[in-house]
Every structure is written in C-alpha cells, then in structure tokens.
Amino acid sequence: MLARTTVERAVVMTGIGGQGIQLVAKLLAEAGIREGRQVMMFGIFMGMIRGGSSDSTVVLADDEIVSPPIVPEVWAVLAMHPEGLPKLAPKVRPGGALVRNATVVVKAPAWDGVLEVAVPATDLATALGQPLGASMVGLGALAAATGVVAVPSLVDALASVLPPHRQKHVASNRACLERGSDWIREHGLDGSVAAWG
C-alpha cells in the first residue's frame, strides 16, 4: 500500500495596513476549514494601523499540515501592494499563481512558471461603490482562478469572520468577492491553476 502524500498550499497575502490583508487571510482560512481542510494561518504586520507593511500566510492542506511555522515555499500570492513582493521572490515556486491588484501593483515580478493574473481589484471595488473592498475582490479572483477554496465557502464564512461592528458590511463584501470571481470567469481564467488534484 502506498503512503498518502499530503498536498499543502501556502498562500501569502501581501499589502499595506488598511487594505484588509489580515481579514481576507482569516476569511480564506475559515473557508478552508469549512471545506474540511487542515489550516494554519499567521500574520505579520508593522506597528502602524495604516500604511505599514502587512502580510499574512495561510497554509491549507488535504491532511495533517507538516510545514514548519515558517513556510519555506509559497504556492500562491495575492498582492494588493507591490511593497512585499521582493521578499517573496525566493520562496515562490513554479506551478502556482500570482493574483495582483493591477490598479496598484502595475508591474508584475518576473517569476518563472507562475500564472500571473492582473485583476484591477481597486477599480472593480470602486465601481461597486466599495473602494475599501479591493482585497475581497482579489480574494474572490484568487479562489476562482485556483480553486484553493470555493467562492461560496468564502461567502458562507463572511459573517463569522467580520467583527460585530462590521456585520452590516456582509452584503457589500459578498458583492466584492463575487465580482472578483466573475471577473476571472469573464476573462476565461477560472481554474487556470488547480490547487487540488
């Protein structure tokens, strides 16, 4: 009998404080849990509330997670701001995806073998009347392009991850997630990189 190999997907969200990086990471983690995946999440951010560097890593796996707390390789990146991209370059491995907010991250890094999806997340969120929802648009696009989690799982998890004072924004965040997913489908990019076999 062959031993089963655990498939792990490390996803890094990078941006600056105020873009909702930690929130979308928490949402991705919660959606993964709801889909029966093993999940590990940790965030790194500067001491500033707004404008400082903000990164969060979510590791999703189909079995017990064997990665150490410091993730040596990255499968996918959601880039909402260019500041954190240079330090990720050594960790990014071929076969994954980079979903970048093309409104802000105007130039893609040259990462060999990585699918690059340039979604105008800020523009799409602004068109919905939700300029602060760009990270949700980006997360919806990432989910649709990779299948790392299903978009309905993200939508279902929204109410549980939004703090009480943000519960009134469930519907607008849902619209942003769905707009990111729709944009991927409209451009024929859905399932471009399959997260799971």
- What CATH number should be reported for the domain holding residue 102? 3.40.920.10
| H or E segment to which residue 22 belongs | helix 21-34
Domain count, the chain: 1
Identify the band that residue 49 occupies on the pLDDT scale cut at 50, 70 and 90.
Answer: low
pLDDT, average across residues 21-35: 97
pLDDT of residue 52: 77
pLDDT of residue 5: 76
| H or E segment to which residue 141 belongs | helix 134-146
pLDDT of residue 147: 97
Distance CA 69, CA 77 (A): 18
pLDDT of residue 53: 85
**Full residue range of the structural domain in which residue 152 is found:** 8-186
Look at residue 191 and tell me if it is in a domain. Answer: no
Look at residue 49 and tell me if it is in a domain. Answer: yes
| Rg value, the chain, Cα | 15
Look at residue 74 and tell me if it is in a domain. Answer: yes
pLDDT of residue 47: 56
Look at residue 122 and tell me if it is in a domain. Answer: yes
Q: For the packed helices 151-161 and 134-146, what is the interaxial angle rounded to 10 degrees?
A: 140
Please give the DSSP secondary-structure letter assigned to residue 165. Answer: G
pLDDT over 80 (residue 1): no
pLDDT, average across residues 45-58: 75
All residues at 6 or more sequence positions from 110 whose CB lies less than 8 Å from its CB, including other chains: none
All residues at 6 or more sequence positions from 137 whose CB lies less than 8 Å from its CB, including other chains: 119, 121, 122, 124, 125, 176, 177, 179, 180, 183
Residues 53 and 83: beta-carbon distance below 8 Å: yes
pLDDT of residue 48: 54
Look at residue 193 and tell me if it is in a domain. Answer: no
pLDDT, average across residues 169-183: 97
- Give tens-digit pLDDT for 33-42: 999 999 999 8
Average pLDDT of the chain to the nearest whole number? 92
Look at residue 170 and tell me if it is in a domain. Answer: yes
pLDDT of residue 6: 84
Please give the DSSP secondary-structure letter assigned to residue 131. Answer: G
pLDDT of residue 46: 62
pLDDT, average across residues 142-154: 98
pLDDT of residue 45: 66
pLDDT over 80 (residue 89): yes
Identify the band that residue 135 occupies on the pLDDT scale cut at 50, 70 and 90.
Answer: very high
Identify the band that residue 149 occupies on the pLDDT scale cut at 50, 70 and 90.
Answer: very high
pLDDT over 80 (residue 75): yes
